[in-house]
């Protein structure tokens, strides 16, 4: 006889406690194989496909696209044959780049009531009259829709298993219920701050709250840098990007000014200088801004940096970055020049201590060798944590970077 197994949203690691359903990859009635991806979810770190540890027929799905689920909540149920029934009834799947922790909370049925994470949820009365006690609602989205339309969940009889109230139940009731007074003009729209957008908002807000930052900037003549890149790429199999050259300059500058490659331990009131440079770089994707991290950037050549930056950029656009590739940075390089702007005041990527911003490289009038000429000019902006260093150190770092941009031959000769 087939056995119905419940697959729970697994522990996603890195302290992540919830994920948003982006796209279901299977439907009720579909046959799935062991370790077949069944849903695509977005966490605060990345978008990943979640594989199911059971093989069989999908009998139920929990959650709709756009809905957030907590770790340990049910994703799907699968009717499996005796040969495919594991000895342990907990979800034990492992996602690439993630870990599994303790068994997540189980959800079971007891006497017609849904029990989730050990909390009983009573089903409402079938006649639609108001009932006391917990309401049979699992989905936060259903609760939100009910609140927006002024629907009393206690008056509903759910059409789901064991009287579970579904979105369709609320929407049917909303047609009959009077519309609540709007909180905003009718032509406005609201976009939830969640997933990667929410994570970016929280990190940037925390940076502004906690870090006393300051910014300095300088214009630099990047003509020789572009010439050096062209010479390196002439006939080369692996092409070097401008971002890779800037990354190599940053690692050299951090070698000269190691106090900047640091973080502040607020609890112990200490500055922690870090031995390795894990270089983050800002990458724009369809789902928003992400900051992949090049591990041990100080030990890589320009070619190696270019290859790794390229690999991480492609993974970011494909939504396949792992949490390990998005965390642990010690310094960030932000090339906003790709958007056609000259300058900016970067916000430090908390808990790092500094960020270098690079504007577009554009032809501008420049005094070169005592005469006015048209040169390729770039504006460099450097934002730093004033607790970690003072203006002299920050200015020295930025001046070293600018000098390398203007005269790269000395630096690049030994890489």
Q: For residues 291 and 333, give the distance between their C-alpha atoms in angstroms, rounded to a whole number.
A: 9
On whether the CB atoms of residues 239 and 233 are closer than 8 A, the answer is: yes
Helix (H) or strand (E) run with residue 176 in it? helix 167-176
Asked about 221 being catalytic, the answer comes back as no
Q: Is 86 helix (H, G, I), strand (E, B) or coil?
A: coil
Tell whether omega for the bond before 83 is within 30 degrees of 0, i.e. cis. Answer: no
Q: What are phi and psi of 2, to 5 degrees?
A: -65, 150
Asked about 149 being catalytic, the answer comes back as no
Q: For residues 18 and 40, give the distance between their C-alpha atoms in angstroms, rounded to a whole number.
A: 13
In this structure, the number of other CB atoms found within 10 A of the CB of residue 60 comes to 15
What are the DSSP E strand ranges found in 176-330?
A: 213-221, 262-265, 270-273, 279-281, 283-285, 288-290, 293-294
Which residue among the candidates 219, 265, 386, 403 is catalytic per the annotation? 386
Which residue among the candidates 89, 152, 265, 390 is catalytic per the annotation? 390
**Tokens standing for residue 337:** 């020049």
Pick the closest to residue 403 from 413, 394, 392, 411 (CA basis): 411
Residues 6+ apart with CB under 8 A from 137: 121, 143, 146, 153, 158, 164, 165
Pick the closest to residue 45 from 16, 68, 20, 88 (CA basis): 16
The radius of gyration of the chain from alpha carbons, rounded to an integer in Å, stands at 27
Q: Are strands 283-285 and 288-290 parallel, antiparallel or unpaired?
A: antiparallel
Q: For residues 98 and 87, give the distance between their C-alpha atoms in angstroms, rounded to a whole number.
A: 23
Report the phi/psi class of residue 222: left, alpha or beta, with left for phi > 0 and alpha for psi in -120 to 50: alpha
Distances (CA, A) of 114 to 76, 120, 364: 15, 6, 69
Q: What are phi and psi of 191, to 5 degrees?
A: -120, 115
CA angle 235, 236, 241 (to 5 degrees): 120
Query: Known catalytic residues?
Result: 386, 390
């Amino acid at each position: 006889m087939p056995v119905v197994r419940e697959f729970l949203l697994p522990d996603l690691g890195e302290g992540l406690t919830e994920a948003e359903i982006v796209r279901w990859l299977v439907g009720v009635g579909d046959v799935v194989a062991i370790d077949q991806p069944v849903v695509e979810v977005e966490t605060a770190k990345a978008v990943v496909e979640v594989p199911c540890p059971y093989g069989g027929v999908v009998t139920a799905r929990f959650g709709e696209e756009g809905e957030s689920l907590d770790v340990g909540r049910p994703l799907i149920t699968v009717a499996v044959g005796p040969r495919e029934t594991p000895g342990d009834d907990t979800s034990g799947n492992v996602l690439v780049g993630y870990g599994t922790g303790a068994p997540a909370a189980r959800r079971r049925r007891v006497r017609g009531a849904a029990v989730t994470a050990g909390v009983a949820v009573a089903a409402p009365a079938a006649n639609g009259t108001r009932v006391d006690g917990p309401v049979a609602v699992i989905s936060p989205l259903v609760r939100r829709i009910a609140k927006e339309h002024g629907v009393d969940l206690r008056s509903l009889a759910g059409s789901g298993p064991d009287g579970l109230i579904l979105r369709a139940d609320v929407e049917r009731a909303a047609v009959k219920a009077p519309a609540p007074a709007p909180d905003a003009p009718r032509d406005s729209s609201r976009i939830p701050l969640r997933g990667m957008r929410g994570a970016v908002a929280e990190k940037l807000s925390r940076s502004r709250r906690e870090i006393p930052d300051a910014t300095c900037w300088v214009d630099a003549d990047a003509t020789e840098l572009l010439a050096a890149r062209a010479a390196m790429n002439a006939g080369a199999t692996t092409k070097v990007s401008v971002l890779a050259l800037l990354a190599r300059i940053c690692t050299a500058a951090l070698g000269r000014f190691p106090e900047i490659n640091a973080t502040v331990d607020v609890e112990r009131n200490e500055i922690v200088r870090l031995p390795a440079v894990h270089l983050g770089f800002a990458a724009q994707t369809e789902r928003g801004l992400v900051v992949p991290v090049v591990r041990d950037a100080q030990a890589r050549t320009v070619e190696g940096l270019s290859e790794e930056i390229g690999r991480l950029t492609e993974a970011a656009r494909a939504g396949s970055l792992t949490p390990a590739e998005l965390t642990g940075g010690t310094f960030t390089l932000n090339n906003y020049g790709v958007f056609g702007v000259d300058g900016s005041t970067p916000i430090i990527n908390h808990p790092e201590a500094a960020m270098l911003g690079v504007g577009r490289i554009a032809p501008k009038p420049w005094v070169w060798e005592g005469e006015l000429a048209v040169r390729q000019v770039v504006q460099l902006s450097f934002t730093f944590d004033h607790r970690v260093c003072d203006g002299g150190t920050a200015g020295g770092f930025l001046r070293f970077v600018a000098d390398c941009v203007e005269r790269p031959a000395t630096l690049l000769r030994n890489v």
